[in-house]
Amino acid sequence: METLVVFGGSGFLGIEIAKVLASHGYKTRIAVRNLENDKLQILRKLSDNFEFVYADVRDETSIGLAINGCEGVINAVGLYTERASETFEAVHELGALNIAHQSQRLGVKRLILISGIGVDLYSQSAYVRARAKGELFTRDIFHSATILRPSAIFGIDDKLVNSIANILRFSPIFPLFGKGDAQLQPVFVGDVAEAVARVMKQSDTSGETYELGGPTVYNYREFIQLIANYSQRKRPLIPIPFLFWESLAFLTCFLPKPPITRDTISLVIQDNIVSKTALSLSNLSISPTPLETILPKYDF
């Protein structure tokens, strides 16, 4: 039985990856900063094939200890809002470099990095730039690393659908970013996790990059309207100019938890869909799950 380690294993995606890897027969090590995280109880109850270890991706020593003895490594660490020393540079750049370096040093067979569609070294978004640099650092050190770039990820416990549902619950209107024309191709969390397992099993995926999206492309207006229909909370969708959002981000950027950031605005301006020439879920023989089959399971 091969042992794999999942960095970011207490996150929304990380937990699902760990569950799917266990179902494929892997012994899975969960590397996290907080071993007392309540979310880990989900995994402790599922299987004895889980091991829980401390690791901070900013600290190479802890990364090496977490990887030691493993045949495969999955970097599923995600940071979407910077807080003090937890910066995009520290997590997505330095963290990716550290994991790749220790994986190479310890002779790991396979390394998978979870990134995101639309990574761009020249993006206005610090988050997107950091993701792009993380990919470069990973491949520079661990040449055969496989990179998975999911679109926006949905699942019953997600922040994507649930945050929109909360706005619909408490607000008489729904403010759009601009006209809501930007496109996205939301992908089911279980499909992304299954992609990780299949990449780990198939040697011909080494060194490849896959873009993971669902079966349907929506614009943001359509996406929000779909959630409103399923939650039975239809609201007027009001276009708000981007200048207003940018001003709000500037005025609230010093708050501990700003309601919106410049990175958020940069992300929603851009389309988030699988490119026509990219390897995708179909190349891994995975049929993407429609959003409409999962929405009825949400607790709206």
Q: What is the CATH number of the domain that holds 196?
A: 3.40.50.720
Neighbours of 175 (CB within 10 A): 15
Q: Is residue 225 part of a domain?
A: no
Classify strands 187-188 and 72-75 as parallel, antiparallel or unpaired: unpaired
If one counts the domains in the chain, the total is 1
Q: Is residue 132 part of a domain?
A: yes
Q: Is residue 293 part of a domain?
A: no
Q: Is residue 226 part of a domain?
A: no
Give me the residues paired with residue 279 across strands.
210
Q: Is residue 264 part of a domain?
A: no
Asked if 127 and 263 touch (Cβ cutoff 8 Å), the reply is yes
Q: Is residue 162 part of a domain?
A: no
Q: Is residue 181 part of a domain?
A: no
Could you tell me what percentage of the chain is helix, strand and coil, using 3-state DSSP and rounding each to the nearest 5? Answer: 45, 20, 40
What values do phi and psi take at 223, rounded to 5?
Answer: -65, -45
Per-residue pLDDT of the chain (300 residues; tens, 9 = 90+): 699 999 999 999 999 999 999 999 999 999 999 998 888 888 888 877 799 999 999 999 999 999 999 999 999 999 888 888 889 999 999 999 999 999 999 999 999 999 999 999 998 889 999 999 999 999 999 999 999 999 999 999 999 999 999 999 999 999 999 999 999 999 999 999 999 999 999 999 999 999 999 999 999 999 999 999 999 999 999 999 988 988 988 888 888 777 788 777 877 888 999 999 999 999 999 999 999 999 999 999
Contacts within 8 Å (CB) and 24+ apart, 253-262: 257/81, 261/81, 262/124, 262/125
Task: Name the residue range of residue 107's domain.
Answer: 3-155+186-213+273-286
Q: Is residue 60 part of a domain?
A: yes
Asked if 31 and 56 touch (Cβ cutoff 8 Å), the reply is no
